[in-house]
Structure 1
């Protein structure tokens, strides 16, 4: 389940690099909030405080209710970094 969430979120973030309608970005923020919330819950269940803090911070960053205005270019950079981080964490988790 964790891997699926990470893959879906990564794909959604990379699609954000395209010129999409504004509604798509709102949907991504809502899905990201839910996805990072689930990942934070799983990290808490595994007592991994580092990942818990990271996922909670990302949930707050992407939440759709109180938008953080970073500008398109900066959001693109954030999307790429978070998307790559999620993909890397999948492969890093496999090697353990």
Structure 2
């Protein structure tokens, strides 16, 4: 489930590099807020405080209620960095060892 959420968010963020209608960006903000919030919750359950902090910060960055105006160019850079990081985390995911 975690991998699916990361992959969907990464793809949605990469679509931001195209000219999309304004409604797409509003949908993206809600999806990222919910997705990163849920990933932060999962990280907390796994007692991974670093991931919890990162996903929580991303949820706050993308939250749709008080928009952060960074400008299109800077948002594109943020989108690329977050997308690449999500894909990297999917590819380098290590299953916990069973006791």
TM-score (norm 1): 0.97
In the alignment, the residues of structure 1 paired with residue 83 and residue 36 of structure 2 have an alpha-carbon distance, to the nearest angstrom, of: 12
Show the 5 A alignment for 1:9-48: 9-48=9-48
Deviation track 1:34-64 (CA, whole Å, cap 9, x = no partner) reads: 0001100000000000000000000000000
Q: Which sections of structure 1, spanning at least 5 residues, go unmatched?
A: none
Aligned length: 96
> How do residues 1-96 of structure 1 correspond to structure 2 at under 5 angstroms?
1-94=1-94
Q: Distance in 1 between matches of 2:3 and 2:57?
A: 19
RMSD: 1.2
Moved over 2 A (4+): none
After TM superposition, the score normalised by the length of structure 2 is: 0.94
> Which structure: larger Rg?
2
Larger helix proportion, structure 1 or 2?
1
